[in-house]
Structure 1
């Protein structure tokens, strides 16, 4: 199993952000991780990425416990946070070279060239990141996340704030990556989930309230589209 979460809890003082959630993501699947603001999505993704410790419970990335061996788990993980932190004064190639050095990638010149082509950055690779549109900055963030060729990719709202053309382009990149990697994708755009995700989990108030393969949506919830289901479930909890 690429991602395995068991009874995961996260508390901030008296506030319980995650209330013992459990789920699995199989290799080569794209999972849409859905929920209203404050539901616990970003907290879960930060824990899985190794940037936030859980209060209790277990999370495995490719069989590696992130609490017991965070560094090894992160070697299997690529992470694009919601705010996509980038060095705006760096050129695209320069930034990717820096990140490749952090990962200790041996043949970084060839690997950077592969990632630039894969993420559609060829025409922009000699520009400063600060000169790029938001869509291309998101591509740089994805490029940084996949440089070390991780098995698991965690993307926290990668298409937020993009125009329709940029949305379509980033979706195609994610769909392409999903052919070889396990992808955990957080988004508020239901059409995006319907277009590219294999599975769906809905979380609300720190608890998972639904989870199913997208192919079973109509069988489980007849005459209900994903957006209607999301509103109904999250309003009911």
Structure 2
């Protein structure tokens, strides 16, 4: 559905997007993550034809966004970070204007306006001035205009920014619903939101693509060894003996909490951390030493995000220092 190849955008000596290449299939919800200044909005603006590229190509359903912009843009619905709303108009009036700009006319225009108003939950505010609507409803109007023309691809830049928790849940449910009929790409700073909604995640840092995978695959790739914490009805010596010789335990910390009870933190190199926890349960149970607590640390998207972006930043700094050193020697 979308092919991005060697996409680069430079502003003078600053490279905002650095040789990005990825392919997005149809019928999925994709999350676009990156720290502030990573190049997310720049990439989205290029993908939608709102910004030129220094080099590289973007194809939407086979049409090049730079060489065949009219055909490519017909297949895209876009909500920028700041929705382009006319505050003195009502949602119905504004959507009529956008629909006409997209080439819709007559019955088709009326039908699509009614459809997007219904899908985005704007029925009871369709004739109120946009300036009088809450932030959440303004976002809904912005999403509604992106849906006009029935585009195959919906691109949403920070669609939940500035919303209250209830509004965030409502927009999140709307995005899930859109993903059933469209390919949806949205950027967000709310990592749990991306993990909940998205089937695949793109992470960029300093203009570079550093990860593109399903959330569970990112977890397996980055958060090993796994961690298990437990509290056993056993003293420190007994706990140490029971843990002795266990496979896949690479590191352990044992602390006696009170007489007859011990806490332990274990790290494992096993891909399936639950197999290790099951073996622990069986071993302590067979010895007559009950496990009072046991927690398995599952991968967290926030940790993945921090690990990837920090490691990329460190590598770039080392590269810059190395290049600076070579220049000084020269």
Range class of TM-score, shorter chain: over 0.9
1:77 partnered with 2:152: no
Unaligned 5+ segments in structure 2 are 224-297, 314-330
Normalised TM-score (structure 2)? 0.70
1:189 partnered with 2:190: yes
C-alpha contact (below 8 Å) 2:47/2:65 kept by paired residues: yes
**SS of corresponding position for 1:22:** strand
1:141 partnered with 2:142: yes
1:70 Cα deviation from its structure 2 partner: 1.3
C-alpha contact (below 8 Å) 1:33/1:184 kept by paired residues: yes
Deviations 1:137-195 (CA, angstroms, capped at 9, x unpaired)? 00000000011110001100000010000000001111100111111111000111111
Which of structures 1 and 2 has the bigger CA Rg? 2
Aligned length: 236
Q: Give the corresponding residue for 1:224.
A: 299
C-alpha contact (below 8 Å) 1:198/1:215 kept by paired residues: no
Deviations 1:65-103 (CA, angstroms, capped at 9, x unpaired)? 111111211110000000112000001100011111111
RMSD of aligned Cα (Å) = 1.0
C-alpha contact (below 8 Å) 1:135/1:166 kept by paired residues: yes
Which has the higher relative contact order, 1 or 2, with Cα contacts under 8 A spaced 6 or more apart? Answer: 1
Aligned-partner Cα distance in 2 for 1:75–1:174: 20
Deviations 1:84-142 (CA, angstroms, capped at 9, x unpaired)? 12000001100011111111213111111111000010111110000000000000000
1:94 partnered with 2:169: no
Q: Give the corresponding residue for 1:55.
A: 54
Normalised TM-score (structure 1)? 0.97
Q: Give the corresponding residue for 1:24.
A: 23
